[in-house]
Structure 1
Amino acid sequence: MKNLRSILTICGLLMLSNSIIAQGLNNEVVKANMIVDWERAKLYTREYLDAMPEDGINFKPIPDLRSFAEQMLHMSQGTIGLISSGTGANPIYQGKVLEKADEFKNKAALTKVVMECYDYAIQSIRNMDASKMDSLIKRGNYETDQFGWLNKAFEHQTHHRAQTTIYLRLKGIKPPNEKLF
């Protein structure tokens, strides 16, 4: 009976350790895929920035909407905050409301800050401990795991980049082709 308990205990520990190892490997794969997706999103967004001429950077389809620059800056600020929540990385541009900063509302400065925010996201994910992706993080009224915050960050940047499609079309510019892979 004692040997049977020992064998069952050892089997249980082996199954538990295999589960933990498999979870760690899965988190590393998820992390690697996220990095690839963020790198692709960065290139895609760069195509949007490159497509808009200087005279369209502050274009608003109607007065009560954000300008093209404000959309991109809002997207970038959201990326910083959500990625910080998802990775624990120290946010860049602390104390600045990017969307309101006139210094970033020209093509060169806008492109620079948006690309820096993508680099921040990519580097923060690269440096995070993937084994903690299921750790719960509370931010304001919201609580989800690190993985959830990273997904929200990607969703947010996709949403705001997509909104600028109409800005390009209204300026007579064909938006960049979709980049799923």
Structure 2
Amino acid sequence: MTVHFFSTLLFISLSGTAFAQPSPYLTEMAEQWKNSATYILDVAEQMPDSGYAYKPVADEMRFDEQLLHIASNMLWLSSTHLTTQKPPFTDAQLKQLAGKPKSEIIATLRQSLAFAQLAMENLPIGELDQTVKFFAGPKTKRQIINLMHDHLTHHRAQTIVYLRLNGIKPPSYVGW
């Protein structure tokens, strides 16, 4: 009886420790997100103020609009699917920032990326495989996090091309 009791107690305490461990996926994504945020903010800093209105062709977004689109998408995905916290900006507020000074755009982008990172870091491990409604069909919260990173990468790549088209060498890559 005593052996059974202590075995059960040991199992429960070890199980609790295992459940209390951070998710390797969330830990890895937090690091990756931090590096991605650093990189896009470096890219945003590289473009001079005068380049924020640049767009390579008529049907593309301007440089500042690319950055605001990143901010908007990160706030939408994280506040809709990862957290119940209210985002720091509405989509309407972000759209009104187009054409504003570079410093305002960067500050807004920085705050939006930080909000998204906090949403990821505070997501309970048990919710990673929870399915949410999404316009492209049901997705897990893990898929939403992957989408956020993919979408940021997609638009960051466009801003890097904008730099190159303006004869500006982009900052060195910040990876994993």
TM range (shorter): 0.7 to 0.9
Structure 2 partner of 1:45: 40
Of 150, 153, 165, which aligns to 1:155? 150
Summarize the Cα distance change of 1:180–1:95 in structure 2 as closer, same or farther, 3 Å threshold: closer
Summarize the Cα distance change of 1:49–1:95 in structure 2 as closer, same or farther, 3 Å threshold: closer
Q: CA deviation at 1:21?
A: 8.1
Contact 1:86 1:146 in 2 (8 A): yes
Are 2:119 and 1:124 aligned?
Answer: yes
Summarize the Cα distance change of 1:34–1:138 in structure 2 as closer, same or farther, 3 Å threshold: same
Of 64, 68, 79, which aligns to 1:69? 64
Contact 1:49 1:111 in 2 (8 A): yes
Matched pairs, number: 166
2:92 aligned counterpart, secondary structure: coil
Q: Over the residues paired in the alignment, what is the CA RMSD in angstroms?
A: 2.5
Amino acid at match of 1:74: H
Are 2:84 and 1:94 aligned?
Answer: no
1:139 aligned counterpart, secondary structure: coil
Contact 2:53 2:64 in 1 (8 A): yes
| Structure 1 Cα separation of the partners of residues 117 and 34 of structure 2 | 7
1:147 aligned counterpart, secondary structure: helix
Q: CA deviation at 1:86?
A: 3.8
Q: CA deviation at 1:91?
A: 4.3
Structure 2 partner of 1:8: none
| Structure 2 Cα separation of the partners of residues 21 and 146 of structure 1 | 24
Are 2:39 and 1:55 aligned?
Answer: no
Contact 2:54 2:63 in 1 (8 A): yes
Question: Which 5+ residue runs of structure 2 have no aligned equivalent?
Answer: 1-10
Are 2:162 and 1:180 aligned?
Answer: no
Contact 2:132 2:139 in 1 (8 A): yes
Q: CA deviation at 1:105?
A: 3.1
Larger radius of gyration: 1
Structure 2 partner of 1:135: 130
Contact 1:137 1:145 in 2 (8 A): yes
Structure 2 partner of 1:169: 164
1:74 aligned counterpart, secondary structure: helix
Structure 1 partner of 2:105: 110
1:96 aligned counterpart, secondary structure: helix
Give the share of equivalent positions with the same residue, in percent.
26
